[in-house]
Structure 1
Amino acid sequence: MSRILIVEDEAIIRSALRRLLERHDYHVSEAGSVAEALAQDPQRFDLVISDLRLPGDPGTELIGHAAPVPVLIMTSYASMRSAVEALKLGAVDYVAKPFDHDELLETVSRVLHQQAVHSAEPPDITEPGGKAQPMIGNCTAMQLVYTRIRKTAPADVTVLIQGESGTGKELVARAIHQQSKRDRAPLICVNCAAIPETLIESELFGHEKGAFTGASSARTGLVEAADGGTLFLDEIGELPLDAQARLLRVLQEGEIRKIGSVETRHVDVRLIAATHRDLRALSKTGEFRLDLYYRLNVMQIDLPPLRDRDEDVLTIADALLEKACTRHDRDGLRLSRAARREIRDYPWPGNVRELENALERGVILAEGHLIHPDDLGLAPLTTRPSSPTPTSGSGHQASATGGMASGEEGTESSEEDLSLEDYFQHFVLEHQDQMSETELAHKLGISRKSLWERRQRLGIPRKKSPRRRTG
């Protein structure tokens, strides 16, 4: 629950504002002047809402004392010039009195959301047998992921992580577990797609001796092994329907029954599930239980694909390169300028996993102290595969952030596309020597992925840079 401090000398306005905010689940404190506000330590709050004109010091005095807590200034319509001055002094925004309730609530919600996003720090993750290292990336989409992890981890609720293959869903699951109250208990990770359908129930729920052919001894299932801790089920969309029914009982009743047993056992397990598929769509085709989907989707975390994390790509590449150099004893290797451009402009349909493999390849093949584009082994632009496009029956989703599929991006009609063909070709051919793919896309008003797809559709190859072995 967000904590808000209201600083207003008129008791009627202060009281009305408090009731309004408390009805919307905010925890509210009051002050009648800057001095009273300072006595309550404004840095303890998530937001300060202050009138501009107060007895004694003006409300803008709180901006410096409250920092980094945002200060929202209230002012009358007759004092708009003063409100602008307050913004220059560092106020996060202003609302005019008499204010509209919906507008005020919307402003408060927006400011608090922005504050939570900007203050979100990457969570530390301890790999098995390794030291704690923070997750990599500071783009807006990942800031939202960090915020959701921070809020979700201690809540001990079921979590559904959605994202394309290779985006780091298991890392998010580890971060949630390690920041939860179960961090001293085991985290059991299971890839549902990697276990044969005939064995999945036995693996998850265990079996008694003689329960089926080959069951020469009793076996404890992975759900029971995670008792007291966290069970991470990756690619849960691949789970057979019979196993789904058993898992639903675990979530509803906290009970399991081994194959071949008549006894039920109580388990205390937090479930984190992950998928690259649209489970709701799968439920419509009968491939996934809708009641299980609702049980899983208490909290949802959407992981963005690497192509939507422009500012993070090179940062991630540098971190992965350092690890690859350590593994292969190739200290001192670095990426050439051309290789960095290639990494920045490539759409990475395989996401972080594909980037990691390319860098591993580069470390092995590099001669000298530089890794060049040829060492990375990336497919030429004209033959690079596009990201999976969802169809009505496939259940694949467009992106982890709920974005549009490649064919939907821009939603341009064929007539509009044809009318722009000549201009597009002329512009790209004329400027591609001087501009990067990102700059070209920005000038054309489209995404870099859309630029790549149009190149392929219109047969416009990307101009190759002269092959020079320089950094």
Structure 2
Amino acid sequence: MQKILIVEDESVIRAALRRLLERHGYILDEAGSVAEAQSDYSLASYDLIISDLRLPGSPGTDLIALAGSTPVLIMTSYASLRSAVDSMRMGAVDYIAKPFDHADMLQAVQRVIDKHAQHKAPKGKKATKSEKTEATPSSAAQDNNPTMIIGECDAMQALAEHVGKFAPTDSTVLVLGETGTGKELVAREIHALSRRAEQTLISVNCAAIPETLIESELFGYEKGAFTGANTNRMGLIEAADGGTLFLDEIGELPMEAQARLLRFIQEGEIRRIGSVHSRKVNVRLICATHRDLQTLASEGSFRQDLFYRINVLRLKLPPLRERGKDILFLAERLLEKQAARAKRGTMTLSPRAIQAITTYQWPGNVREMEHAIERAVILTDGTEIDNEALGIDLELVNINRLRGDRMNSGANKRQPRNSDPVEDLSLEDYFQRFVIEHQDSMSETELAQKLGISRKCLWERRQRFEIPRKKAGGSRPRKAAG
């Protein structure tokens, strides 16, 4: 079993991490500071150290030198993202922003441990079956196919082929797909199969950084460039020099940042804010978005010249609902993975669960499915998972399917103007109407449960459809003054 040391001074976060990781089969020790970790434990005996950046006494980055070959994963807040870049320059294997999503933390932990295990294994020695972890990058078939791309449908096979061709180049890649389809996994796979695999991959969610900070985060700044700039700071692009920069949700970049990004792509150089000197950088760029950039460009909210620059090699990820037999295959793989992590042995899907999985539309795509199966494994006492544990209402699924069938059968017919508006609702329309009609009487958790999605997916779709969350006590929007 893999051993992890948590170094965090906040006991609440430490306890939450312990519960999360122990539930997935890891052995945990914990410390409240670097000094405590060094005095109480042998740092080299762990498979991974997870440390907060800011600790009483010495910073978490001091563990990088003290831990020897043991990898150190740094936790930091979004406000300290610049410090995370410095941490990676000092030798941290990766960083994760707080507050973190449980799935993101588990993915990061497994990814780092798998990579560390590969480096520790003697060259030429093949891993035994017990050393492999199914449904992770290191457990892929021993062919040259991309390891994270699972699926037999035509779209996924074409995607795997294109990734294999695109990865060895240095050309910019644009990854398109709905939220939850795995755009970041594809970006990581391209990096892992490229000539830059041993260099840094910096991932940036452009939608998660405040508009006022995005330029300083990407390009860095010089001391005195603005109020609060007390020292020189390296930007994320410069930090990725020699490696790969992944810009997720690039459609959310403000226009000013788009102009600076265009210059970086054209000239291969960046200029820190407040500096008169440019710096040459060698960075492979991968961009991703769930939005239609071509439409945004025609509307003037995204630069056309930038769109043409990043639209060199394009990958389109199909939504889960369009992947046919892959849906059940993927669900079974995820079930194996989650059951193994929870040490539940072999678990199966009941006929009703299979019906629910294959008929539900999965608006949150693979991410939503993974969360639903993880929840079902935890809630199920026996070995067979039912649709109720998945949180999928079969009656609602069947109603939506019948509605879709009626819409498809009448697609070529002219609909009367006074027809029932419910029958003309798309799934996206249904989502928007349901949230707007029920958000005053239901909590976010209840809304997510009724829709059969996670709270995170609900939040993401609120952002996508621009449905603000109403505050308690304010059921009606106030009229503007005057």
Report the TM-score range of the alignment, normalised by the length of the smaller protein. 0.5 to 0.7
Match of 2:414 in 1: 414
Count the aligned residue pairs: 284
Measured against aligned partners, the alpha-carbon deviations of 1:111-160 in whole angstroms (never above 9, x if no partner) come to xxxxxxxxxxxxxxx93332523221110011110111111111211111
Would you say 1:330 and 2:344 are equivalent positions?
A: yes
Q: Distance in 1 between matches of 2:258 and 2:399?
A: 33
> For residue 266 of structure 1, what is the aligned residue in structure 2?
280
| 2: CA distance, partners of 1:364 / 1:237 | 37
1 CA distance for matches of 2:113 and 2:279? Answer: 32
For 1:160, what is the secondary structure of its paired residue?
Answer: strand
CA distance in 1, matches of 2:264, 2:321: 37
* Matches of 2:254 and 2:389, distance apart in 1: 41
Amino acid of the residue matched to residue 212 of structure 1?
F
Q: Mark the CA change 1:157 to 1:384 in structure 2 (over 3 Å): closer, same or farther.
A: farther
- Asked if the contact 2:346–2:383 (Cα under 8 Å) also holds between the matched residues in 1, the reply is yes
**1:221 aligned to which of 235, 249, 255:** 235
Task: Indicate the SS of the match to 2:167.
Answer: helix
SS of the residue corresponding to residue 207 of structure 2 reads helix
The residue type equivalent to 1:128 in the other structure is V
Tell me which of 195, 201, 208 is aligned to 1:187.
201
What is the alpha-carbon root mean square deviation over aligned residues?
Answer: 3.3
Q: Deviations over 1:344-363 (max 9, x none)?
A: 11111111011011101101
**Are the aligned partners of 2:356 and 2:397 in contact in 1 as well (CA < 8 Å)?**
no
Superposition deviation, residue 384 in structure 1: 9.4
Match of residue 196 from structure 1: 210
One-letter amino acid of the counterpart of residue 359, structure 2: D
Residue of 111, 120, 129 corresponding to 1:127 = 111
Looking at structure 2, the residues matched to 291 and 202 of structure 1 have their Cα atoms a distance apart, in angstroms, of 22
TM-fit CA distance, 1:260: 1.6
Q: Which of 311, 317, 320 is residue 331 of structure 2 equivalent to?
A: 317
Give the aligned partner of residue 143 of structure 1: 157
Are residues 347 and 153 of structure 1, via their aligned partners in 2, closer, same or farther at CA, if it must alter by over 3 Å?
A: same
Corresponding position of 1:437: none
Distance 1:235 1:409 in 2: 35
Alpha-carbon distance, 1:311 to partner: 1.0
| Alpha-carbon distance between aligned partners in 1 of 2:238 and 2:264, rounded to the nearest angstrom | 10
Q: Secondary structure at the match of 1:310?
A: coil
Matching of residue 293 in structure 1 with residue 307 in structure 2 = yes
How far, CA to CA, are the matches of 1:330 and 1:239 in structure 2? 44
Q: Is the 8 A contact 1:349 1:386 kept in 2?
A: no
1:317 Cα offset (Å): 0.9
Take 2:326 and 2:264, find their aligned partners in 1: how far apart are those partners? 39
Identify which of 282, 294, 297 aligns with 2:296. Answer: 282
Match in the other structure for 2:371 = 357
Q: Deviations over 1:81-127 (max 9, x none)?
A: xxxxxxxxxxxxxxxxxxxxxxxxxxxxxxxxxxxxxxxxxxxxx93
CA deviations over 1:56-91 (Å, ceiling 9, x no partner):
xxxxxxxxxxxxxxxxxxxxxxxxxxxxxxxxxxxx
CA deviations on 1:383-421 (whole Å, 9 max, x unpaired) are 89989xxxxxxxxxxxxxxxxxx98897423359999x9
Deviation at 1:226, TM superposition (A): 0.8
Conservation of the 8 A alpha-carbon contact between 2:360 and 2:397 = no
Mapping 1:438-453, distance limit 5 Å: none
Is residue 237–residue 275 contact of structure 1 (8 Å, CA) maintained in 2? yes
AA paired with 2:331? A
For 2:275, what is the secondary structure of its paired residue?
coil
- Paired residue type of 2:392: L
Question: Are 1:160 and 2:145 counterparts?
Answer: no
Question: Separation in 2 of the partners of 1:192 and 1:371?
Answer: 38
Distance 1:203 1:263, change over 3 A: same
**Are 1:175 and 2:189 counterparts?**
yes
CA distance in 2, matches of 1:408, 1:337: 27
User: How high is the TM-score relative to the length of structure 2?
Assistant: 0.54
Residue segments in structure 1 that go unaligned for 5+ positions in a row: 1-125, 388-405, 426-448, 457-471
**Contact 1:359–1:376 (8 Å) recurs in 2:** yes
Q: Distance in 2 between matches of 1:217 and 1:324?
A: 45
The change in CA–CA distance for 1:287 and 1:418 in structure 2 (over 3 A counts) is closer
5+ residue gaps in structure 2? 1-109, 115-136, 141-146, 435-482
Deviations 1:422-448 (A, max 9, x none): xxx9xxxxxxxxxxxxxxxxxxxxxxx
* CA distance in structure 1 between the aligned counterparts of 2:253 and 2:400, rounded to whole angstroms: 27
Q: 1:239 aligns with which of 237, 241, 253?
A: 253
1:138 is paired with a residue of what secondary structure?
Answer: coil
Equivalent-residue separation in structure 1 for 2:370 and 2:310 (angstroms): 30
Distance, in Å, in 1 between the alignment partners of 2:395 and 2:231 is 54
- The CA deviation at 1:229 is 1.0
Paired residue for 2:357? 343
Q: Counterpart amino acid of 2:159? A: V
Percent identity between matched residues is 54
Q: Is the 8 A contact 1:349 1:385 kept in 2?
A: no
Task: Give the C-alpha shift of residue 178 in structure 1.
Answer: 1.4
Query: Which of the two has higher C-alpha Rg?
Result: 1
Alignment partner for residue 270 of structure 2, among 251, 256, 263?
256
Q: Distance in 2 between matches of 1:229 and 1:348?
A: 34
Change in Cα spacing, 1:386 to 1:240, as seen in structure 2 (3 Å) is farther
| Separation (CA, whole Å) in 2 of partners of 1:409 and 1:151 | 40
Please give the per-residue CA displacement for 1:303-357, whole angstroms capped at 9, x wherever unaligned: 1000000110111111212222233333333222221221111111111011011
Q: Which amino acid aligns with 1:251?
A: I
Q: Once the 2 structures are TM-superposed, how far is the Cα of residue 171 of structure 1 from its aligned partner?
A: 1.2
For the structure 1 residues 330 and 216, does the alpha-carbon distance in structure 2 shift closer, same or farther, using more than 3 Å as the test? Answer: farther
- In the alignment, is the contact (CA less than 8 A) between 1:207 and 1:219 conserved in 2? yes
SS for the counterpart of 1:184 is: coil
Counterpart contact for 1:136–1:315, Cα < 8 Å: no
| Whole-Å separation in 2 of the counterparts to 1:345 and 1:146 | 25
* Alpha carbons of structure 1 residues 271 and 375: separation in structure 2 relative to 1, 3 Å: same
**Structure 1's 349 and 289: CA in aligned 2 closer, same or farther, altered over 3 A?**
same
For the residues of structure 2 that align with 1:385 and 1:204, how far apart are their CA atoms? 47
Query: 1:13 — aligned with what?
Result: none
